Amino acid sequence: MGGVTSSIAAKFAFFPPTPPSYTLISEDDTSSLETQPVRFSIPEVPRKNNVEVLKLRTRKGNDIVAIHVKHHKPSATLLYSHGNAADLGQMFELFVELSNRLRVNLMGYDYSGYGQSTGKPSECNTYADIDAAYKCLKEQYDVKDEQLILYGQSVGSGPTLDLASRIPNLRGVVLHSPILSGLRVLYPVKRTFWFDIFKNIDKIGIVNCPVLVIHGTADEVVDWSHGKQLWELCKEKYEPLWLSGGGHSNLELYPEFIKHLKKYVQTISKSKATTNGSKKPTVESDNQSKASETGTADTFELSSDVPEVSRNSLDSRLEKSRKSNKPEKSRMSTDRVDRFRRRKGLGW
């Protein structure tokens, strides 16, 4: 029974875009991939001098694609693990914009079986994937743990918390619409079973850095209670962001999203610089448990010079948001996910 349930949960945890939203053109000798990252370019997105596209070999033997966006004056490095129904072609614009607005270097990567990454998506492979990205940041870009912020969106909270639970000196962790565990998205179980996947509920208490949780109060895919419970279990809590009326896939459209995220990055950077990691960041708001109302400042605008293929995950939501003057209810990017979600409430 357990094995069957686990395989069902894993099957519905991953929906890589088919076909992938991007292709790769090699710029290095690919025979060196065994010993060092190999550089590529993505013809479907604008070529930028501060963006490197790499292929990394994981310990499982898969070759995953990663993007590194360099800021001219970074305060930190952010390692971004995306959701279950997107790939790097669709995330490219967001990565560039986040790097610019947050003033950070940013690395995003595709899981095994996503985009142009080889292999098949699985829980174990995502752990190997994020480890390969982390190793690249350490060895290729000389990033120290104290400079690193891990960011996990939806199912990406799984590899994010797995890595965070193994590194004691991270600067911070951001959980965006996170899940308690795979089975808890499917069923309201009260305890963790051995066959569960992405057991975030058991790992969050091991994380030794400020944790920011962002969740929409109207998330119909991963209930708001997931984010709230994870925040309550944090050792080092940072002021959470509960976006009133926010769904699962549209939180970036709220002005408060980028404003709060920027405040978090600045706060933990100042704390690390002034106390050398010996003091926890101060929470500046008394409204930790209240849902945030959207404001007018710090609107998150996406540039218009990105080809259609890289905008699949955001464009339609932006257009509908403009028409209705409020963020759209969340949706997933494939009809297959939509049909199953209506039956089971899935799509993380």
Residues with catalytic annotation? 154, 219, 248
Residue type, 130: I
Cβ neighbours around 263 below 10 Å, total: 17
The secondary structure of residue 314, as a DSSP letter, is: T
Distance of alpha carbon 76 from alpha carbon 151, whole angstroms: 12
Residue type, 326: K
Contacts for 113 with CB less than 8 Å, ≥ 6 apart: 14, 16, 119, 120, 121, 125
Q: Which of 107, 219, 217 is nearest to 160 (CA)?
A: 107
Mapped onto helix, strand or coil, the DSSP state of residue 115 is: coil
Distance of alpha carbon 228 from alpha carbon 173, whole angstroms: 15
Q: Taking every pair of C-alpha atoms in the chain, what is the biggest distance, in angstroms?
A: 55
19: left (phi over 0), alpha (psi -120 to 50) or beta: beta
